[in-house]
Each structure stands twice: as C-alpha cells, then as structure tokens.
Structure 1
Amino acid sequence: MKQPAYDLASLRKEFPILAREVNGKPLVYLDNAATSQKPLAVIQAMDDYYRHTNANIHRGLHTLSQEATDAHELAREKVQGFINAASSKEVIFTRGTTESINLVAQSWGRANLKAGDQVMLSMMEHHANIVPWQMLREQLGIELVIIPILANGSLDMDAFFQLLTPKVKFLAITQVSNALGTVTSLAAIIPMAKALGIPVLVDGAQAIPHQAIDVQALDADFYVFSAHKMYGPTGIGVLYGKEALLEAMPPWQGGGDMIDVVTFEKTTYAKLPHKFEAGTPAIADAIGLGAAVDWMQRVGADAIGAWEHELLVYATAQMKAQLSGLRILGEAPNKVGVISFVLDGAHAQDIGLLTDQLGVALRTGHHCAMPVLHHLGVDATARVSFAAYNTLEEVDVFVAALKRVREMLI
C-alpha cells in the first residue's frame, strides 16, 4: 500500500484527540472539512501564551504587553510567508472566512458597487459566500449572476465565458467546494476576470489545508480562509487583500485599535492592517494560527495534499466496490479529499447517527451549500473528508461501518 511522504504513525501521535474512543470504539475522525483536529504544537502555543504572556496588545509599555504584541505580529508575518503576500500589511485577522467575506462586501462592495452592477458567484458557493452578497443586493440593488455546474460537479466554463460581461463588477468564487470537493479552474477564471478589470475574491477555506497557496501567483485581489480548517484554532481567520485596495477601502467596524485620533468632531484611522481590526483581537488564536502555519510548513502542504488524494482514490474505489445503491455527488476530475454521498434507503441523518455508534465521525446535512445540493436533486448528503492524519485502515473501518448501516436500514 502507498504511504505518505511523512511518518504517519509519528504524526498521529501529535494529535491527542485521535487516541480517544467514541462509544467504545477507536475514534475515526472524517469530518475535517468542517474542522480539523489540532496538533500539540498549536495547543501548547496557545497554552503558553495564557500561562506566561497574557496581556492586551499594541500601545502597552509593560513587558507582557510588548511580548504579546510581538507574538501576535509574528503570527501575521508567518501567515504572510505562508501565502506569499507581498507585505504583512496585506494580512488582516478576522474571526474566520465568513467575517472576511462580509468585510469585503460591506467595505469594498458598499463603496464601489451600485444598483444594476453584477456580482458573479458559482453554484458551488458556501452560504458564507452567498448571503453577504444577497444582503448587499438588498442594500444597493446589485444583481447576482450564478455560474452553473456540469453533471460531474465541475464548473461550467462555457457558461462562465458567456456570463462574464462588462456588467460584472466583482467575482467571488470558491477555490474548492466544501460540499463536492471540486477544485475550480482559477488559473483560467482569474485572468479572464482581470482582463475586464473585475476584482476577484477567492474563498480558500477548503483549499488552504490541502495545497500550497501563493496569492501573488494566483493574482487574487482578496483571498480568505479560516484557521480551524488547517489544524489551527476556531474563531480566527484571514483576509488577504492587495495593499492598494485595502488602503482605499473604508473601515467596516469602529472601535479601539483601528483608530489614530478620536474627537467628537472627527476620527482618523490607523494604518493597515489595524484599520480593519477593531477591538481586542483573538491574541491566543492568532498565535495558534501561527503555530499551525509552522506545523503545516514542517509537514509540507504538498505532501499532505498528495496523501489525501491517495485516501480519496482508495475510499472512492472501496465505496463503489462494496456498497450498492451508492451515489457520489461530485466526481470532477480535479477534486480534494471530500466525498459527499447518498445511499438508497438510508437518510443522511441516520447514516451519521449510526456510524457515530461505530466510532466514525462524519458530517451529514446540507453542508451550508443548499443551492448546489438542491440543484443535484438532494436535500442532504453524508460527507467524509480527509486530513493529514487519516489512514487507509480508517477508510476500511468507515466502509465497513457503512455496510453495517446499510444492513440495519434495509
């Protein structure tokens, strides 16, 4: 059997939670697209901050504040290097992908869009990249244009070329579908948009755990992601934006730390990146994100993605060989380690509850992607998604659990 480029057994020992049991069975955690587990390096970095450095950051003159500030800003620099941003000023800390997209919609969008302008999305978007633009539609009277998908879950590129007209003033698109695993063809899409002067936001939440990201090579104007998908803590994410765009955008939230001078007559704002970081930030979580970046760089994003592909190929083959009545939604030729599926005679919720009794954690429901599931004729699916620490043996346990479930329900 194929093995990853890293020592899988040793790597698994870095994740304490993988040693636990669920319902008397060894945990098989296959819900990584929802949130990944955290290595000791991340847990310990956050614990160390709270034990030894806990203080508020920026402007504090005492030692703890200066140490906390240094650690927080070092995390920003780590993220800058991780995604190859041109400057740390282009890295804005947010609460996650959702907040990052809302920030762009309410700051860039409200400042630059008007009634009749079109914002282009794809059929595969997560609700976080749909609802903020619908809210902006109610506020400004903009229009949403949706790129359809093909039967195999790939983006319909012919339709994209037809829909891409001068009326489109912004493109917000996922790099990887959380519901289908499809990888969109950004290398073709972004240059076409740029040729028409259309700014592009890329939702990278489901891409950054699986591959190396270079925002300068990608040429996205905005790139957004969450730490908890990439072995980091919940409650923190990143908005990358090109410096010139961020400089021109008004602040989204007001409060402490995003200001320069405040009077009751007028307020001036802090320089980037702090202009968009109102209030006390998630300091420990930023440090945890920095530790997750260190961990991913040590293991290697490309090595992780290659192993997850092996798991995807193996799991897909085993499921098709051993399960009758199986339908996998999304079999695009280019996809990450996500399998969304339905079984004849078995509701997704029942699959999730029964596999949990066998120690297997997977996701069921609409995955915050109702439009694409409804387009494919289902209301809910079961979904497994892989990470660096998953094994071929866990795939076997998962498939055996599905067979048990099918026997119980039919």
Structure 2
Amino acid sequence: MCATVCICVAPLAVTGCYDRQELEQQAFVSVLGVDKAPGGLIDCTFKIAQPISPSGGAGGASGGGEQPLASKTPVTVRAHSIYEAMLLANGSIERTLTFSHLTLIIFGSNVAKSGVLQYIQPLTRYREFRRTVPFAVADGEAKDIIQTFQPMLDTSTARVNDGISLLANRIGLIPNCRLHDLAAALENPHEDVVAPMYGVNKFVKDNKSLPDDSSISYEAGDVRRSGGNPVDWMGGAVFHGDKVVDFVNGEDSIYLRLLEGELDHARLDFQDPTNKQQNIGVELHKEGRAHYDVSLGNPVQIRVNVPVDVDVVNVSSGIDYSQTQPRAKLEKSLSDQLNQRLEGLLHRLLVTDHADVIPVSRYIRAQFPTYQAFQSYPWLTRLKTANIIVNSDIHVRRFGVQIEPLHETT
C-alpha cells in the first residue's frame, strides 16, 4: 500500500519545465551603458548580441534575408532605473532581455562623478546579474562609446571585451576592474578602485589630420592615430567610494599596475642619461610583488620596494651602455626616473585624491588588535601628511639580441 502511494505521489513532486526559457526566446545583453538624463532619470543603452543560426545565417534568416537590428545599432531607453529600462525595452524587442551573458557595463562620466551606488546596488540583488562583470567609465556618454565602437578583428562582443581584459594584464595601459571589486571596496574600510576609461577618438571619428607638433597623448579619446576602431581604451577613472575623483592616463596606469604587483611586463621610455634629448626604450620584468613597509607615526611613513629587471630594446643616441661603468650609470638613471614617477603617482592618489586604490591600507591591518580598531583609524586623514619613498632598484639584464649599437661604416 505504501509503495503504491509513493509511486502515485512521486510524479507530482518532480520539478517540471513550466518556467523554462529557451535560448530562442531570450535577448542577451552583451554591453550595458548608463548615462544621466533630465529629471533625475537615466538613459540605459543595451547592446544586444546578434543571434546566429548554426547554418551560418544571421538570426536564423536564410539566403539574403534582412540582417536583424541587433547587428546594426544599440537600443537606448530612458527610465528611473536599469530594471525599469529592461521592462520598457521589451515593449519593442521581441525577446526577453537578460543579463546572464553581460560582458561589460559602462558608466557615463556624469554618472560616475555623482555616484554609481544607486545604480549597481539593485543589480547585486538581481539573480541574472554577475558581480564578476567588468565595468568602465566613459569620457563623455556611455551610449556614444557603445554606438561608435567598431572592433578591428572580432565580431563577437563578448570576445572583444575578453581580449581587452587580457590586454590590460599584459601591457597595463588600462586597469582591470569588476563590479565585485567596487562592491568589496565599498564594504571594506580605506579601500578604493580604478576603473578603465573608454573614449571616442576625435581624430578617427571626425577624420581629422594629426596635429603638427611633437606631443604624445596617453588619454582615451586623444591618442594620435588614424583609422581603426574609433574608440580608445586608455588610462583609468579613480574612485573614492562610489564617485570618480580623478583620472589617470595610460602611462600612469602602467605605473599603477607595477605598484599593485599585477603587471609582469611593461614597455616604457626613459630619458637617456648621457643625451637628454634622446630616449631609451626598455621592457620591464617584475621580479616580485611590490613590498610595502608602513609606519603609523606622525607623519605616516610609506616605503615601497618595487623589484624590477629591464631589457634595453632601444637606445636612440647609439651610446654603448653594455660596459660596466656605463651600465651602472644607466641603471642608476633608470631607477631614479622610475622612482620619481612612482612616487609622484602615489602622492597624487593618496595625498591629493585621498583614494587608496592599491590599497596600501591592507599592509597596516596587522598593526591593529581588532578589526574595529583598524576600521576607526583615520587613515585618509593621516595620508594628507604622509612621506612616500619608492625604491625600484632596476637591474639591466640584457641589451637585446645585439649588444653593441649599430655603427655606420665610412
């Protein structure tokens, strides 16, 4: 009898498929942009992944069928919140919008400067939204970045953003930052983050001629170039709390990644110690993570050791630095220049911006008996008068495949 009852009741307890969502019934948002709008509203821009048929046709269309709008233009919806914008967007998009495959969220500069917490806080509760999604800040409006973006190689938006994340770790021109990093920094005392910057290149967009000067720019949107993707990713936006308080360029981002200990290799130019009008190109190799020694006196003393090896890849002046004495002179000059740049960046971030994006505060936790004592310590106030000393101690380990410079025969 009991067996019969179990057999009859068991099918009723098995989960069914009444709430299933087929892939063909969903519109996957790959990039989300958030900008300020009048009346306290926001403009949400959705870049929707283009549906591809296994047979190779777009959107399941056959032969020479019309390309779906997802392949042509993003959609911008004005609303009170991101969630409401998703709801309103489904009044003109024939599939249910979902964030399960979101690869990037971009905040307009106006939103980032006024605070992003009110926009990301609901997303952390939304089950389809992953906190591991990277986020960035636009130089201007996010919708302009999304509308103008034209990748050089990849057709998949997800693949493009993954490639940019790999570039961030390999060359250091932009930081890597995910919404989880910002959420963790907001929940932990004395911590901040830097998000990558995107900007529409004014020379490429307007087909302008490059200026007749000797300046080089590492600013997103101002890189001297022609052709290619009209959008630059270069430098970062410095957050204090949930607000942007400063911007760093691409070169500063390389130094920041070295101070964080997250960059294994970097290419940089330094001034030639013998001929000040010429540059020396080097490739930096991290020997180990940067080490911080912080003394909580008055003033606070911050000493940073950044162990670095370099390969000399270019000596414009043609001077031979491979011998012992010239090599020692070169190493000292490179160390002094790098120390000065790293100290200047740290002073700007910690003292001027009051933003601990490394964060250095992690290295002082062990000096407090309890978490509450660490939390109540006036770290940012003490940083206003902090003394910062950086020692990079550069060692030149090779001069490329040809040690001596080229000499013209006469």
The TM-score with structure 2 as length reference comes to 0.22
TM-score (norm 1): 0.22
Of Structure 1 and Structure 2, the greater strand share is in 2
RCO comparison, higher one (Cα < 8 Å, 6+): 1
Compare CA radii of gyration and give the structure with the larger one: 2
